[in-house]
Amino acid sequence: MKKILIVDDEPNILILMEQILEELEDEGVSILTAINGEQALEIIKKEEPDLVFLDVMIPHISGLEVCETVKNDSHLCHIHIILLTARGQSFDEESGMKAGADLYMTKPFRPREVLLKSQEILGIHQV
């Protein structure tokens, strides 16, 4: 079973992302959520999701630190990480890519883009 982890401390973003991605559940994709960096790392180590949508500004451990930790772990580095953040300056994007992110998306994001990117990464063909 393929898994997507959504990490954001903003409840409205979590709900929106779950709604966007819920149609992938019909394809056998499990949706997991976390509200801080500590929780995110626990879930990543336990569940090894295929894809993580990771906010940069989250409590306890920042999204950048979570990303670096995952990408520097030989057992987890294959996990695809998309940083999804309100920080849209080129400096912020550079920091995200240096941390190992596979993609950097800024908020507000386009729901269709999130869904299509998820399908592409998970190898799910659109119907």
- Nearest CA among 16, 83, 17 for reference residue 56: 83
Q: Are the beta carbons of 34 and 55 closer than 8 angstroms?
A: no
| Domain-located, residue 28 | yes
Q: Is residue 32, in this structure, part of any structural domain at all?
A: yes
pLDDT at 127: 55
Indicate the average pLDDT of the chain. Answer: 94
Is 126 a domain residue? no
How does pLDDT run across 15-47, given as a tens digit for each residue?
999 999 999 999 999 999 999 999 999 999 999
Q: Residue 55 domain-assigned?
A: yes
CA 78 to CA 9: how far, in whole Å? Answer: 24
- Output the domain CATH number for residue 40: 3.40.50.2300
Q: Is residue 77 part of a domain?
A: yes
Please give the model's pTM, rounded to 2 decimal places.
0.95
Q: Rounded to 5, what percent of the chain is helix, strand, coil?
A: 45, 20, 35
Q: Which domain holds residue 94?
A: 2-121
Q: What's the pLDDT tens digit per position in 45-63?
A: 999 999 999 999 999 999 9
Find out whether 1 and 30 touch, Cβ atoms under 8 Å.
yes
Count of domains observed in the chain? 1
Can you tell me the distance from the alpha carbon of 118 to that of 69, in angstroms, rounded to the nearest whole number?
A: 22
Within a domain: 103? yes
Is residue 33 included in any domain, yes or no?
A: yes
